[in-house]
């Protein structure tokens, strides 16, 4: 099976940066799950209100379908996938998905969000993102990476982990 990877984590953890570089390295397409959010979801977040499970349900279904459709060609998706049950929902469609979670201190995340311009996600939502996040559990296929390393180091570690867990 081709590589099916989701780069997950809270806002500002580096999902888009690391995901894009990882896709290049693996030679597969890259999709940012932010582009699959409904206009209503984006407006809600931009207005400073965290999404609920109900808001995320249809979005997670569309992500599961996109992953499943990519089973032959491979895909790297940047998608927050904050809770275990969200990852379960995606795996229900695409069981082969490997999750790379990006985690770091609140301080570092806040610094990276503050240094970024032109994004709809307000830094004020960081605490709700951190409250929702559930780390990978031992039975989940994936790896957790600490975001204090440079993006190319994170990509190399992710590739190594993907190859080690066929
Ligand atoms: N490992 C890293 N080292 C240094 N800076 C990084 C690293 N990863 C990401 N960044 C920077 O941190 C900021 C946030 O990264 P990015 O936009 O990729 O996060 P994200 O998780 O995709 O965010 P969101 O979910 O809100 O779209 C960007 O300015 C990016 O250049
Ligand atoms: O589940 C969620 O709350 C969302 O996916 C957010 O995580 C954002 O879309 C993203 O982080 C901002 O770009």
Task: Give the model confidence (pLDDT) of 53-101 as tens digits.
Answer: 999 999 999 999 999 999 999 999 999 999 999 999 999 999 999 999 9
CA distance 101 to 96: 16
Ligand nearest to the CA of 148: 1
Within the chain, what is the greatest distance between any pair of CA atoms?
42
Are 59 and 41 in contact by the 8 Å Cβ rule? The answer is yes
Q: Domain range spanning residue 132? A: 4-164
Counting every residue written for the chain, the total comes to 166
pLDDT in tens, 114-125: 998 888 888 889
What pLDDT, on the 0 to 100 scale, is given for residue 156? Answer: 98
Question: ipTM, 2 decimals?
Answer: 0.96
Q: What is the DSSP string of 55-88?
A: HHHHHHHHHHHHHHHTTTT-EEEE----SHHHHH
Closest atom of ligand 2 to 34 CA is 9
Q: How far is the CA of 15 from the centre of ligand 1 (A)?
A: 6
Are 29 and 72 in contact by the 8 Å Cβ rule? The answer is no
Nearest CA to ligand 1 atom 13: 112
Ligand nearest to the CA of 130: 2
Helix (H, G, I), strand (E, B) or coil at 36: helix
Nearest CA to ligand 2 atom 8: 11
Instruction: Tell me how many domains the chain contains.
Output: 1
Asked if the model's pLDDT at residue 105 lies above 90, the reply is yes
pLDDT in tens, 117-151: 888 888 889 999 999 999 999 999 999 999 999 99
Asked if the model's pLDDT at residue 29 lies above 80, the reply is yes
Strands 98-103, 4-8: pairing kind:
parallel
């Amino acid at each position: 099976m081709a590589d099916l990877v989701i780069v997950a984590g809270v806002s500002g953890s580096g999902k888009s940066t690391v995901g894009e570089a990882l896709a290049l390295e693996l030679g597969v397409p890259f999709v940012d799950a932010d582009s699959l959010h409904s206009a209503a979801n984006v407006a809600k977040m931009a207005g400073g209100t965290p999404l609920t499970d109900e808001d995320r349900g249809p979005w997670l279904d569309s992500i599961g379908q996109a992953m499943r459709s990519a089973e032959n060609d491979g895909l790297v998706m940047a998608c927050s996938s904050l809770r275990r049950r969200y990852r379960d929902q995606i795996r229900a469609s695409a069981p082969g998905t490997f999750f790379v979670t990006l985690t770091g201190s609140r301080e570092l995340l806040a610094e990276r969000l503050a240094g970024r311009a032109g994004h709809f996600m307000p830094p004020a939502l960081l605490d709700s993102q951190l409250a929702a996040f559930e780390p990978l559990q031992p039975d989940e296929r994936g790896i957790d990476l600490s975001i204090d390393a440079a993006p190319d180091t994170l990509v190399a570690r992710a590739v190594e982990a993907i190859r080690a867990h066929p």
